[in-house]
Structure 1
Amino acid sequence: MVNRRKRDLNILILVLAGIVILNVLSSFFFTRIDFTAEKRYTLSEITKTILADLDDEVQVTVYLEGEFPAGFKRLRNSTADLLRDFKSYSNVNLKFDFVNPLAGDQKSQEEAYQLLIEKGIEPTNLSVKTEDGMSQKIIFPAALIT
């Protein structure tokens, strides 16, 4: 009985040690596995090469921050996932942030609108269902790459 308990404890310790060693080793290697048939979440080799060969820092500003319906929240999350993938292959030469152009007072919003329109980013009028009915919201579903 004591030998069996000791043997079980040794097996548990070996399994835990194996998991810890595997975890430490895996932290040195980056890999992703895409189980979709069409490789939907896999970056092409040319994309990986372009990202790895970036000489200068690239800044991506995405205007998808704030209160949005579920569809735009999914778009924001998918965009963030894709940008994180890009960043992992770019040798940290890719920076990104999400900005809410609706933040601030009325004057700062108008200035932000004008600046975005000057850069060629057109606003979209979004109908949002609220408790009081439908309301209109101006959004800029775009990204600016500099």
Structure 2
Amino acid sequence: MYNVQFTIKPKRILHFTFYILHSSRGFSLIESLLVIVIVGSIVFLMASIPNAMMLIGKSRHLSLAREIAAKQIEDKRTISYINLVNDNSPIADNRLSLLPSGAGNVVVENCSEQICTNGEHIKQVSVTITWKDNSKLQNVTLKTMIGEGGINQ
């Protein structure tokens, strides 16, 4: 039998490993393009975040204004036609304080002759909510007709 011994010198292993790791120098064109695409995508996403946040805020304000106006319309519909008087009154809703510079009013008036041509007993109710978004005045207006013998009468 043969007695063979192998000796491994640590210096040669380190030299071989170092050679493998550093035998390919630089980056390939594909790797460079991939890095550019990834960095560009991240920059694009970061640039669109402020615009998205602004749109979310506008949407939230518009939704709240519509909710307030719809509630005012429903409140007026609970009043019978006989007790509904012509007026222009401000809205007293606590949620208006959630809108920047929020305000609103309810206008009750007789139906115009252009719409009610046969002299029907109908009142037109208009609810307008106003607020400011980025120093630009925004508003929501909902209108309805309430008549004698109509809904909830």
Tell which structure's C-alpha radius of gyration is larger. Answer: 2
Structure holding more strand per residue: 2
Query: Normalising TM by the smaller chain, what interval?
Result: under 0.3
Higher relative contact order (CA 8 A, sep 6+): 1
